[in-house]
Amino acid sequence: MFFHNFAMNANNVLEHISNNSYPGRGIVLGQNHDGVWIAIYWIMGRSDNSRNRIFTHKDNVLSTEAANPSLVKDPSLIIYNAMRGIGHNIIVSNGSQTDVIYDKLMLGSSFLASLEHEKYEPDAPNYTPRISGYIDRNVGSVSLSIIKRNHTGNTDHHFYRYSNIPLGVGYCITTYMGDGDPLPSFQNEPILLPLKGDMNEIANTYWNELDKDNRISLGLRYDNIVKIINKY
């Protein structure tokens, strides 16, 4: 009964994605019903600069690249490594902190400590939060972080760690609550979302739920296999 209610709750909150024209960038971490670890990352865009992107995968790294390099105006916040494997584990984020986490973990630091000096993105007036995630398959846990600007202009760090996660669900954070001007930062604790089916079924489910005008790319890591869906 516990698992049934858990899964039902996950289905209910999928509306944060499907009924939301602009949740922004998003991370989902968890396991499907077969116990396969899943990491999902997607990007969305409203401006031409943000929409001019694709995902590529090479040497165990999922990266954003320009769909048309001649149209890039400012690559600083839109071109980065988004997902990296580190041993059996997985790092994912919406910016340059992917490499920061990787480098610090390689030196023996922790996911939490690696983000200690990170701040929100300097893209006024939105001040986009930095979202990050880590699957530690060695201990069977997922960690999520959102670093965002508070009302005083300072930086708030929020960290979440989950273990003993029921199969078929994942935890999600997005950069925004929805569309707006400025864009409202994500305010909730990580939300529970379903992870039903195999790699293709899960990837297609999330891609189809994202707003068709604003979705840009989605990457899904299924154990050690990576699937990419690019709009352009």
Tell whether the model's pLDDT for residue 3 goes beyond 80.
no
Looking at the structure of the chain, the number of domains it has is: 1
Can you give the residue range of the structural domain that contains 119? 2-230
What's the gap between Cα 55 and its chain centre? 13
Closest among 101, 149, 145, 97 to 123, alpha carbons compared: 149
Q: Model-level pTM? A: 0.94
The C-alpha angle with vertex 55 and arms to 54 and 56, in degrees rounded to 5, equals 120
Confidence of residue 12 (pLDDT cuts 50, 70, 90): low
pLDDT in tens, 59-70: 999 999 999 998
Please state the rounded mean pLDDT for residues 145-173.
96
Average pLDDT for the chain: 93
Closest among 220, 219, 221 to 64, alpha carbons compared: 219
pLDDT in tens, 107-128: 999 999 999 999 999 999 999 9
Tell whether the model's pLDDT for residue 5 goes beyond 60.
no
Confidence of residue 11 (pLDDT cuts 50, 70, 90): low
Residue 135 sits in a domain of what CATH number?
Answer: 3.60.20.20
Tell whether the model's pLDDT for residue 14 goes beyond 90.
no
pLDDT in tens, 23-72: 999 999 999 999 999 999 999 999 988 999 999 999 999 999 999 998 88
Please state the rounded mean pLDDT for residues 1-18.
58
